[in-house]
C-alpha cells in the first residue's frame, strides 16, 4: 500500500477518520504504525495529503487528515478488455488501476468462455475492490469506473460508438499479434490526450470483431515479438502508451507539429 485511500464521506467534520477491517489490519500488522506515524493519503477521485495516526486499537486505527494537494486530472487511458480467465481477472484489474486507467469496459468476445460471466469475480463490488487495491499500489486516487458488457457488438454500436462521437477525438489502439506495426511506430505525436485501447481474449479477436473495431477507427498494433497472456498484455500496452504520451509531450514542447490522432486495438 503506497497510498491510503478514503471515500470523502469517511472523513468527519473535524478531519478525522476511524479505519476498521482491511485497512486498519494493514496499518497495524504490515506497516506497524504507532501514534504520530505519518501516512500518505488520498480521497477517491479527489485531493491527496497526509494523515497522522492518533490512536491504534485492537480493531481500529484513528487518523487526523490534512488534504493539501489538488485533485489530479483523470488518467488519459480507457481500456476495453475481453473478459479474461476469472483467476487472472483480479490481477488484471489491479495492474490496470495501478498504471492509471480512466475507465475499464469488460466485454464478451467469440473466444471468451461463456462461463466466465458467472464468476463472482465479475460482481461490481469485487471489481471495485480490486481496482481500489491497484490504486493503493500505484498511489493513484482515480479508481476507474468498471462496466461489464455481455454482448460485444451491441456494446460497440450502442455504447462505445456514441461515446467516441460525443467526446473529443481520442486515439484508438487495437492490440493484435498479427499487426504489422509496433506501438512506437504509430507516430508518437498522436498521443496527446485520451487513448482508448482494446485487448482481446488470449485466443485473439475473430475477423468480424476486428472489422467492427476498425470501423470505429481503431488501428492494430503489436506489443512485441512474443505472444503474451492477458495480464502481461494489459501491463505492456498501458506502459507503452504512457511512454509514447511522454515522448509526444516532449516533442510538442520543442515546437514540433502534431500528427492526426490514431486508434489502437489489441487482441
pLDDT for 260 equals 36
Q: In this structure, what DSSP letter does residue 1 have?
A: -
Strands (E), the chain: 4-6, 16-20, 38-43, 48-56, 60-67, 77-82, 103-107, 145-149, 171-175, 195-199, 219-221, 264-266
pLDDT for 104 equals 97
pLDDT for 224 equals 78
pLDDT for 221 equals 87
Look up residue 159 and give its three cell numbers: 455504447
pLDDT for 251 equals 42
Q: Where are the alpha helices (DSSP H) in 27-121?
A: 89-99
pLDDT in tens, 153-177: 999 999 999 988 876 667 889 988 7
pLDDT in tens, 168-217: 667 889 988 777 788 877 755 555 578 899 999 988 889 999 999 999 98
pLDDT for 188 equals 54
Are 159 and 149 spatial neighbours (Cβ–Cβ below 8 Å)?
yes
Residue-averaged pLDDT of the chain: 87
Are 196 and 78 spatial neighbours (Cβ–Cβ below 8 Å)?
yes
pLDDT for 169 equals 64
Look up residue 64 and give its three cell numbers: 487526523
Structural domains of the chain, with CATH: 4-67 (2.40.240.20), 77-266 (3.40.1280.10)
pLDDT for 187 equals 56
pLDDT for 263 equals 42
Per-residue pLDDT of the chain (267 residues; tens, 9 = 90+): 899 999 999 999 999 999 999 999 999 999 999 999 999 999 999 999 999 999 999 999 999 999 998 888 899 899 999 999 999 999 999 999 999 999 999 999 999 999 999 999 999 999 999 999 999 999 999 999 999 999 999 999 999 999 888 766 678 899 887 777 888 777 555 555 788 999 999 888 899 999 999 999 898 888 877 778 888 899 989 998 888 877 766 444 433 333 333 343 433
Strand order across the 16-20 sheet? 4-6, 38-43, 48-56, 60-67, 16-20
pLDDT for 244 equals 82
Amino acid at each position: 500500500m503506497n497510498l491510503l485511500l478514503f471515500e470523502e464521506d469517511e472523513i468527519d467534520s473535524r478531519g478525522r477518520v476511524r479505519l476498521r477491517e482491511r485497512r486498519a489490519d494493514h496499518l497495524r500488522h504490515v506497516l506497524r504504525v504507532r501514534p504520530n506515524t505519518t501516512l500518505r493519503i488520498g480521497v477517491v477521485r479527489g485531493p491527496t495529503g497526509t494523515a497522522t495516526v492518533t490512536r491504534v486499537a485492537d480493531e481500529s486505527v484513528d487518523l487526523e487528515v490534512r488534504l493539501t494537494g489538488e485533485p489530479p486530472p483523470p488518467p488519459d487511458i480507457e481500456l476495453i478488455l475481453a473478459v479474461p480467465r476469472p483467476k487472472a481477472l483480479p490481477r488484471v484489474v489491479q495492474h490496470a488501476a495501478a498504471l492509471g486507467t480512466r475507465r475499464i469496459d469488460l466485454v464478451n468476445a467469440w473466444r471468451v468462455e461463456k462461463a466466465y460471466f458467472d464468476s463472482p469475480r465479475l460482481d461490481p463490488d469485487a471489481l471495485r475492490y480490486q481496482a481500489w487495491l491497484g490504486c493503493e499500489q500505484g498511489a493513484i486516487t482515480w479508481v476507474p469506473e468498471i462496466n461489464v458488457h455481455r454482448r460485444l457488438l451491441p456494446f460497440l454500436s450502442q455504447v462505445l460508438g456514441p461515446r467516441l462521437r460525443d467526446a473529443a477525438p481520442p486515439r484508438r489502439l487495437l492490440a493484435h499479434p498479427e499487426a504489422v506495426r509496433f506501438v512506437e511506430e504509430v507516430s508518437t505525436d498522436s498521443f496527446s490526450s485520451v487513448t482508448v485501447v482494446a485487448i482481446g481474449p488470449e485466443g485473439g479477436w475473430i475477423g468480424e470483431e476486428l472489422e467492427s473495431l476498425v470501423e470505429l477507427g481503431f488501428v492494430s498494433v503489436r506489443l512485441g515479438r512474443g505472444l503474451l497472456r492477458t495480464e502481461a498484455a494489459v501491463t505492456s500496452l498501458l506502459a507503452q502508451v504512457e511512454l509514447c504520451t511522454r515522448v509526444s509531450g516532449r516533442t510538442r514542447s520543442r515546437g514540433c507539429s502534431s500528427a492526426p490522432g490514431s486508434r489502437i486495438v489489441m487482441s
